[in-house]
C-alpha cells in the first residue's frame, strides 16, 4: 500500500530525487510522507502527516549535500496518521533509518521483547521494530545483519535501510510486498513501483521474495535467502514518463479514461496477428481436455472484470466458470485440483490476497494464469502462465483503463478457448473478432458525450445514496459503476440485478432517489422497462444508460446516456465508460481529490 523510494549516486542531491519519487508514488498512500538522508556522518529525518506538500513545505529552506537517502509515503495500517507514525523510523542509537511497506504480524511480540531490553519506541507502528532489530543484531556484515532481522519477522514487507556507519550504501529486501531496483550510471535506486524512477532510468531489476540487495552508486549486488550472491537480469521498461504524466489533463483519471480507445487497439494489436487470428504465442499452454472448470479470482475492479470474463467463458467457450473474491477464495476450501484452471487478475500484480490465493491454488495442483498490467510483478512471476494487459502506467487510484484492458483480454481468451474447445467455428470466430474490433470506435463516441454526462453529474453531487440496476451481464457492469462512484465521490451506492428490487431494496426508494439503470441487452429490455416503471411509480429519478434504439427506455427515464447499437456482448463495456465519466464528473462537482480518494491506495499489498 505504501510507497518506498531510495537513491544513492553522485550526480543529484538525494532530497531532490526522493521528493520527486514520492510525488510519483503518492497514489500508493498519502496519509503521511517522510525522508531520511545521510549527511555529516549522521542521519537527518523529516516526516509530516498529510499530503506530500506538507513535507515539501517543511523542507523548503533545507540545504543538503547528501547523495544517499530513502523516502516513504504512507497508507496507515498500524497507528493513526501523524508525524510520529510517519516513516522513516530511527533506531534508538540513531545508527539506522528504515522505510517499510507491508505488515509485521508478530510486531507486538518483538516490541515487548525489545522494550524489555531497554529499547524505547516513538510510534505506534509495526514498522519501527525493524529499525530496532537491525540495531540489536548489527554486525559489520550487512547481509548477516539483515538475515538475522528477517528470521524474526513474520508477515509481508519491502524494506529500505540506510546505515550511518556505512554511508555509501542502501540495504533492501522484500517478502510479499513489491520492490524494484533501478540501475543507472553512477546512480542506483529502490522503489515500490516503476514511475518513481522512470525519470532517471528505464533499467530495472525485479527482486524476488526473500532476496536482499546492497546498492552503492556504482554497483548493485543481489543475494538469495541464504546470503549467497546471485545474478539477476536487468529488464528495460518500454514505456516513458509521458505515459506516467498528466499531459495537461486536470486529473490522471480523466487522462486514463480517454486513453481507453488506444488501449483496446493496443491489446488487439498485441494479441492478434496479420491473419486475423488470436495469437498468445507461448504465453498459454492449457490442456483443455483436462480442464473441467475455470475459476477467476481477483479483488475490487479486477473482480468486476472477472465477472464479465466468466460471462464470456460461459457464453462463448461453453466452459463452466466461477468468480470469487481473492480474500474469500483461499478460506472457502474451493474444489480445485489438477483439472482446474484458476485465472488471477490484478492490475499491479502485487495484490496480496490474490497472490496468496494463487499460492494456495498451486499447492492443490491447479493450473494458474495471471492477467496483470505489470511486467515482472509477483503474481506474474508466481503463475504458470501470464498474459499482460499492456495498459501502460495507471496512476489514478480508481482503475479505468486497466479494467477495460482486462475485459478486452478476457473476451479474446474466451474466443481462443472456445475455438480450442471445438465450440467456436470459423465463422463465429471471425464474427466475435469483428465485434471486439468495433469497441474502440464506440468508446470514442461515448467520450464525445462528456459534456452531457457532466450535466447529469450536477444532479448527483448532493445525493447521499444511489442504486445501480441491470440484468444479465449489465448487472456485472453495474457493480463496477457503483464502485467507481463510491470510491471517488463518497456517495453511498449499491448495485444489484434489477429483478431483486422487489425482494427488499424497493423499500428504500422515495422521491428523488437516484437510479442508474443499465439496459443494453436485447432480451432484457422489456423486463428492465418494467423495473424502471416500478421505480418511477415510487418517485425515483432514473438515469438510463442504453442503446439509441431502445426508445421505450429513454422515454420513461428522467435522463439518459445513449450509444450506438453495438452487439450485446460488449455493450456493457461501452456503458461502463459512461459510468466512469459519471463518477468522475460527480467527484469533480463535489470538489474532492479525484486521483487520491480518502482512505484508499492504488496497490493493496496487505491482507
The residue ranges of DSSP E strands in 60-139, in sequence order, are: 68-74, 89-90, 96-104
Instruction: Give, as one character, the DSSP assignment of residue 26.
Output: G
Q: What is the pLDDT of residue 285?
A: 82
Strand ordering across the sheet containing 32-39: 42-49, 32-39, 68-74, 3-9, 187-191, 180-183, 203-206, 235-236
Looking only at the bridges linking them, the beta strands covering 180-183 and 187-191 are antiparallel
In 3D, which of 95, 87, 93, 224 has the Cα closest to residue 162?
Answer: 95
Q: pLDDT tens-digit profile of 507-548?
A: 888 999 999 999 999 999 999 999 999 999 999 999 999 999
Query: What confidence category does residue 1 fall into, taking pLDDT thresholds of 50, 70 and 90?
Result: low
Higher pLDDT, 157 or 596: 157
The answer, yes or no, to whether residue 245 has pLDDT greater than 80, is no
Query: What confidence category does residue 466 fall into, taking pLDDT thresholds of 50, 70 and 90?
Result: very high
Strand ordering across the sheet containing 293-298: 321-325, 293-298, 340-346, 367-372, 385-388
Query: What confidence category does residue 242 fall into, taking pLDDT thresholds of 50, 70 and 90?
Result: low
Task: Indicate which residue of 136, 175, 255, 602 is catalytic.
Answer: 602
Higher pLDDT, 26 or 205: 205
Higher pLDDT, 545 or 288: 545
What is the DSSP annotation of 255-322?
HHHHTHHHHHHHHHHHHB-TTS-B--TTS----GGG--EEEEEE-HHHHHHHHHHHHHIIIII---EE
Q: What is the pLDDT of residue 603?
A: 55
**First vs last C-alpha separation in the chain:** 10
Taken in order 12, 15, 16, 20, is the CA torsion positive or negative? positive
**CA atoms of 6 and 160, how far apart (whole Å):** 7
**Across all residues in the chain, what is the average pLDDT?**
91
**CA atoms of 15 and 197, how far apart (whole Å):** 14
State the cell numbers at 177.
Answer: 510486498
Within 8 A by CB and 6+ apart from 109, the residues are none
In 3D, which of 523, 508, 434, 515 has the Cα closest to residue 482?
Answer: 515
Residue whose entry in the numeric block shows the C-alpha cell 478457448:
417
Task: Indicate which residue of 2, 119, 172, 299 is catalytic.
Answer: 2
Q: What is the pLDDT of residue 533?
A: 94
Instruction: Give, as one character, the DSSP assignment of residue 522.
Output: G
**CA atoms of 520 and 497, how far apart (whole Å):** 14
Q: What is the pLDDT of residue 590?
A: 94
Q: Which of 217-231, 372-386, 412-426 has the lowest mean pLDDT?
A: 372-386
The answer, yes or no, to whether residue 605 has pLDDT greater than 60, is no
Residue whose entry in the numeric block shows the C-alpha cell 462463448:
316
2 is catalytic: yes
Please tell me whether residue 380 adopts helix, strand or coil conformation. helix
Taken in order 335, 337, 339, 343, is the CA torsion positive or negative? positive
Please, what's the largest Cα pairwise distance for the chain?
Answer: 78
Give me the mean pLDDT over the 87-110 stretch: 93
Give me the mean pLDDT over the 483-503 stretch: 93
In 3D, which of 14, 264, 279, 37 has the Cα closest to residue 164?
Answer: 37
Q: How far is CA 487 from CA 257, 407, 484, 592, in A?
A: 16, 20, 5, 11
Contact predicate 46/56, CB 8 Å:
no
Q: pLDDT tens-digit profile of 550-579?
A: 999 999 999 999 998 789 999 999 999 999
In 3D, which of 387, 436, 466 has the Cα closest to residue 574?
Answer: 436
Higher pLDDT, 376 or 52: 52
The answer, yes or no, to whether residue 375 has pLDDT greater than 90, is no
This prediction's pTM: 0.79
Torsion of CA 520, 523, 529, 534, to 10 degrees: -110
**Bridge partners (DSSP) listed for residue 36:** 45, 70
In 3D, which of 160, 178, 576, 595 has the Cα closest to residue 354?
Answer: 178
Query: What confidence category does residue 13 fall into, taking pLDDT thresholds of 50, 70 and 90?
Result: confident
Q: What is the pLDDT of residue 444?
A: 94
Amino acid at each position: 500500500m505504501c510507497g518506498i523510494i531510495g537513491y544513492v549516486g553522485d550526480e543529484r542531491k538525494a532530497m531532490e530525487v526522493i521528493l520527486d519519487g514520492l510525488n510519483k508514488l503518492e497514489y500508493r498512500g498519502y496519509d503521511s510522507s517522510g525522508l531520511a538522508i545521510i549527511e555529516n556522518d549522521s542521519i537527518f529525518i523529516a516526516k509530516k502527516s498529510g499530503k506530500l506538500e506538507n513535507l515539501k513545505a517543511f523542507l523548503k529552506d533545507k540545504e543538503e549535500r547528501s547523495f544517499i537517502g530513502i523516502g516513504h509515503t504512507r497508507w496507515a495500517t498500524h497507528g493513526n496518521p501523524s508525524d510520529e507514525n510517519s516513516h522513516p523510523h530511527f533506531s534508538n542509537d540513531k545508527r539506522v533509518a528504515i522505510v517499510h511497506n507491508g505488515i509485521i504480524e508478530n510486531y507486538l511480540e518483538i516490541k515487548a521483547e525489545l522494550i524489555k531490553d531497554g529499547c524505547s519506541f516513538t510510534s505506534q507502528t509495526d514498522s519501527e521494530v525493524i529499525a530496532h532489530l537491525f540495531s540489536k543484531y548489527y554486525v559489520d556484515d550487512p547481509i548477516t545483519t539483515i538475515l538475522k532481522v528477517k528470521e524474526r519477522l513474520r508477515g509481508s514487507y519491502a524494506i529500505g535501510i540506510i546505515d550511518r556507519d556505512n554511508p555509501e550504501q542502501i540495504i533492501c529486501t522484500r517478502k510479499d510486498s513489491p520492490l524494484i531496483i533501478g540501475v543507472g550510471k553512477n546512480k542506483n535506486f529502490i522503489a515500490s513501483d516503476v514511475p518513481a524512477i522512470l525519470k532517471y532510468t528505464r533499467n530495472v531489476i525485479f527482486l524476488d521474495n526473500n532476496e536482499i540487495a546492497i546498492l552503492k552508486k556504482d554497483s548493485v549486488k543481489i543475494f538469495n535467502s541464504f546470503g549467497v550472491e546471485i545474478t539477476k537480469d536487468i529488464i528495460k521498461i518500454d514505456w516513458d514518463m509521458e505515459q506516467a504524466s498528466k499531459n495537461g489533463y486536470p486529473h490522471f483519471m480523466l487522462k486514463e479514461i480517454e486513453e481507453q480507445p488506444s488501449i483496446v487497439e493496443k491489446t488487439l494489436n498485441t494479441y492478434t496477428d496479420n491473419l486475423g487470428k488470436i495469437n498468445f504465442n507461448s504465453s498459454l499452454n492449457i490442456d483443455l481436455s483436462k480442464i473441467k472448470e475455470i475459476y477467476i479470482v481477483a479483488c475490487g475492479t479486477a473482480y468486476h472484470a472477472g465477472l464479465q470474463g466468466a460471462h464470456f467463458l460461459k457464453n462463448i467457450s461453453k466452459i463452466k466458470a466461477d468468480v470469487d473474491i481473492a480474500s474469500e477464495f483461499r478460506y472457502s476450501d474451493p474444489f480445485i485440483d489438477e483439472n482446474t484452471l484458476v485465472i488471477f487478475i490484478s492490475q499491479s500484480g502485487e495484490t496480496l490476497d490474490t497472490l496468496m490465493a494463487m499460492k494456495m491454488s498451486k499447492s492443490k495442483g491447479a493450473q494458474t494464469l495471471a492477467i496483470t498490467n505489470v511486467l515482472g510483478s509477483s503474481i506474474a512471476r508466481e503463475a504458470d502462465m501470464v498474459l499482460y494487459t499492456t495498459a501502460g502506467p495507471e496512476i489514478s487510484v480508481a482503475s479505468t483503463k486497466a479494467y477495460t484492458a482486462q475485459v478486452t483480454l478476457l473476451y479474446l481468451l474466451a474466443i481462443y478457448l472456445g475455438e480450442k474447445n471445438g465450440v467456436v467455428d470459423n465463422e463465429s470466430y471471425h464474427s466475435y473478432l469483428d465485434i471486439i474490433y468495433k469497441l474502440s470506435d464506440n468508446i470514442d463516441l461515448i467520450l464525445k458525450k462528456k459534456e452531457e454526462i457532466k450535466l447529469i453529474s450536477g444532479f448527483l453531487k448532493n445525493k447521499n445514496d444511489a442504486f445501480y440496476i441491470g440484468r444479465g451481464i449489465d448487472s456485472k457492469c453495474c457493480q463496477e459503476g457503483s464502485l467507481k462512484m463510491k470510491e471517488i465521490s463518497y456517495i453511498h451506492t449499491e448495485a444489484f440485478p434489477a429483478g431483486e428490487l422487489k425482494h427488499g431494496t424497493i423499500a428504500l426508494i422515495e422521491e428523488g432517489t437516484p437510479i442508474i439503470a443499465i439496459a443494453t441487452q436485447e432480451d432484457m429490455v422489456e423486463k428492465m422497462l418494467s423495473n424502471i416503471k416500478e421505480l418511477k411509480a415510487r418517485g425515483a429519478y432514473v438515469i438510463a444508460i442504453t442503446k439509441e434504439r431502445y426508445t421505450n427506455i429513454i422515454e420513461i427515464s428522467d435522463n439518459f446516456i445513449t450509444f450506438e447499437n453495438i452487439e450485446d456482448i460488449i455493450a456493457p463495456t461501452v456503458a461502463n465508460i459512461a459510468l466512469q465519466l459519471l463518477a468522475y464528473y460527480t467527484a469533480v462537482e463535489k470538489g474532492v481529490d479525484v486521483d487520491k480518494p480518502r482512505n484508499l491506495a492504488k496497490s493493496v499489498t496487505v491482507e
